[in-house]
Amino acid sequence: MYFLFFLIIPICALIAKASQNSFIDFITIATQPIALSAYSVTFSMAFVASLFNAFFGFILAWVLVRYNFPGKRFLDAAIDLPFAVPTSVAGLTLATVYSPEGWIGEFLGRFGIQVIYTRLGVATAMVFVSLPFVVRSLQPVLQEIDSQIEEASWSLGASPYSTFRKVLFPPLLPAFITGVTLGFSRAIGEYGSLVLVSSNIPYKDLIASVLIFQNLEQYSLGQATVIATVVLLISFSILLGVSSIQSWNRNKQK
């Protein structure tokens, strides 16, 4: 019942609304230059944020599981902060810190780097809201790996790199892919923080979610529905592809 009323019916309603347009009108709206630019900015910046989260999220999860240090509990609790903080608050915080007058923005400005109101600001906000997915997906798997497996590998003459690549990383791979994919999906759907850190100018840093909202403000429900449907289909295709890769990897391991 939950799956039906909170997922299937809303998605079907969205697709049904979009299908009220003729095929030619649907393609025309979906491929208009401003929409193509919004797709490009959204998915490219989400991809950049996913790469960042994949690298640093893995390191952060590894450090939290394998090492003890002062402030570990505080850092571990802070990972979930993006889940608890309203996205508008997150956007305001990022805009304050990375503005030309902010602590970090002023420093970066000395090197000619502007974060706020650029695509870099979009990627920064996406990193903020999606990093916890990678860390929280990896932590339980890392905690279940027995340290004796590593010791056995070392006793057989394997180097630390070989032990990591052949012994530790394979069982981590499914959780790693899941976390990165969830973070990528979360970045695509972000709105509240991005609307504050980007200039929302078409062909510059306008993202798909903001474009949809702008169409709704202009009472262009048909255009908003078509663009939302395109983003939905692309996101679902990516998730389906990743799920297929994970199934293939599990079958290969068996």
Q: Which sequence spans correspond to the domains of the chain?
A: 36-253
pLDDT given at position 6: 84
Task: Quick: pLDDT tens for 220-235.
Answer: 888 999 999 999 888 8
* C-alpha separations of 105 from 110, 111, 128 in Å: 9, 10, 16
The tally of CA atoms less than 13 A away on the side-chain side of residue 240 is: 6
Task: Quick: pLDDT tens for 90-113.
Answer: 899 999 999 988 889 999 999 999
CATH number of 36-253: 1.10.3720.10
Predicted confidence (pLDDT) at residue 41 exceeds the cutoff of 90: yes
Name the pTM for this structure: 0.88
Closest residue by Cα to residue 127 from 197, 210, 33, 34: 197
Closest residue by Cα to residue 207 from 44, 20, 19: 44
Predicted confidence (pLDDT) at residue 254 exceeds the cutoff of 70: no
Closest residue by Cα to residue 173 from 205, 148, 137: 137
